[in-house]
Structures are given as structure tokens and as C-alpha cells.
Amino acid sequence: MIVNFIVFPYDAKRIDNTALYFDIVMNEKTIGNLKATETNKNSRQYFHSSTTVKTKIIRNITVNYNYEVSFANDLLKKSDVKITINDRPHAETSTEWRNNEYQMVKNGKEKEVFKRSIDYTTILLYFEEPVNISSCFSEQEGTFNTIIPLGNHSYKKINSKGKENIYYYKDGALEKATIDGGLANFQLIAK
């Protein structure tokens, strides 16, 4: 079960240090939690999210997602995503701005290089409503996702595999999301 989240462009007006907490709920039962933090230091914005999900799909599984993302001058500088299942490495993606282009390494293999600037990524969805944002970069997959406004402060994110997540905001803050996790669907609910 892999969770794809969305990222947004950084807004320099945000508070210097922020911590957000979410429950992960499947079939009305809390199966995990997510903590997302933002820190501003030396003209850079650092985002971190840590997610742990424990559930049973055929057998007991524990999935951990760790995202480390940095922005400077409103652009992605580096992202590292590490996913483990039952304490074993499952996936790892690193994207970094070097030599006027983004270079990506996915599961130890160099992937495509691209020059398209990245100002919005999935981790930012936790921190602000994606007003006037039509796409975001998935740090986990290394692809661009589509964001469609649905009205009433809700947005649909469609990833490169066609999976759809819906994000709901209140007063600009993420209140909940419905996530298509592949093998299982679940909700992300703000604490």
C-alpha cells in the first residue's frame, strides 16, 4: 500500500515553525498517523513528514513513509523519500536541483533529468490550500500530478497512474483527505 500525496508552492508569509498532526483512518478505525513539520532557516524552507500505517491486508504490515523536502526562492531544491514495509526498504526517491536541472535517483537508478521548475510539491498540500494550483510534483513518484478544484474548498489530485485523492480545506488548512492507496482506501483526518 503506497500513499501518494501532493505538494504546493511555498508562501514566504507562513509561520517560521509549524507542526501538523493527522490520523489515518480506514473503515472507521485509526490505523496510523502522520506528522508534518515546516521550518524556515537561513532563507530555506524545510518540510518533513513522517507517516506510520499498521494494518492487515492478508497479513500484518507496517508501512513507514519519510519525506524530507527543501525549498529556496520558492523552488524545490531537494527532496528525499524513503518508504519501508515491515522495516525493510521498499522505495527511495531523491530529486535535486543541480547544474540548472532536476536530477532524480529512484531506487538506486538515475532517472530522467528535467528542467521544468518545481514550485509546488505534494508535501505542501498539508500546509496550505492549493488555490490557483493546477499541478504538483510527487516527490515519491518523480512525476507531476494534476490538481482540479471541485468547489467548496475541495480539490482532486490525480496521479500519473490515474489514482484520485480528494483534499478538503477549512480556513485554508487541510481538514481531511480521502486517499486511494491502491490496495486500500483510507482517510487522512486533522487532529
The full set of domain ranges for the chain reads: 17-190
Lowest mean pLDDT of 8-17, 79-88, 116-125, 156-165, name the range.
Answer: 8-17
What's the pLDDT score for residue 7?
A: 39
Residues 6+ apart with CB under 8 A from 148: 134, 155, 156, 157, 158
What's the pLDDT score for residue 13?
A: 46
Report the share of the chain in percent with pLDDT over 70.
92
Rounded to whole angstroms, what are the CA distances from 38 to 16, 20, 81, 122?
7, 9, 16, 13
The predicted-structure confidence for 95-127, as pLDDT tens digits, reads as follows: 999 989 999 999 999 887 888 999 999 999 999
| Region for residue 108 given its phi and psi (left: phi exceeds 0; alpha: psi -120 to 50; beta: otherwise) | left
DSSP classification of residue 127? T
